[in-house]
């Protein structure tokens, strides 16, 4: 008779006492599940943010290279002469002369 009673007790896994006795463990498992889900969502958001920032950095890098090449092109001597010609400035054909005051020579 005793063997039959033990068998029926083993088959019943979810009785009231076992559930109430394991409430802290069940709460702990549910807390872990919530933390796991939150971590997954957080990492997805972080990856999306990282990809958009990388895309912006690439666009800014292209813009920087374009502006840099434009500045290098405009700083060529021929381009500078062409840019200041409407202002009435012309390129010197002979080297500049040095003017020395006579007072500074005596001392």
User: What confidence tens digit (pLDDT) does each residue in 48-94 have?
Assistant: 999 999 999 999 999 999 999 999 999 998 898 898 989 988 888 89
What six digits make up the tokens of 51?
A: 């990809």
Query: What is the DSSP-derived secondary structure letter of residue 90?
Result: -
Query: What is the DSSP-derived secondary structure letter of residue 57?
Result: H
User: Who wins on pLDDT, 104 or 30?
Assistant: 30
Domain ranges of the chain: 2-90
Local structure of 16: helix, strand or coil: helix
pLDDT band at 4 (very low <50, low <70, confident <90, very high): low
Sign of CA dihedral 61, 67, 68, 73: positive
- Return the closest-CA partner of residue 80 out of 64, 89, 96, 97: 89
């Amino acid at each position: 008779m005793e063997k039959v009673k033990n068998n029926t007790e083993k088959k019943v896994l979810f009785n009231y006492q076992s559930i109430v006795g394991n409430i802290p463990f069940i709460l702990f498992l549910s807390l872990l599940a919530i933390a796991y889900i939150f971590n997954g969502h957080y990492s997805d958001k972080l990856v999306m943010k990282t990809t958009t920032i990388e895309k912006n950095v690439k666009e800014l890098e292209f813009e920087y290279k374009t502006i840099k090449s434009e500045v290098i092109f405009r700083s060529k001597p021929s381009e500078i002469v062409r840019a200041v010609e409407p202002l009435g400035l012309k390129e010197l054909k002979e080297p500049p002369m040095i003017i020395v005051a006579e007072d500074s020579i005596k001392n």
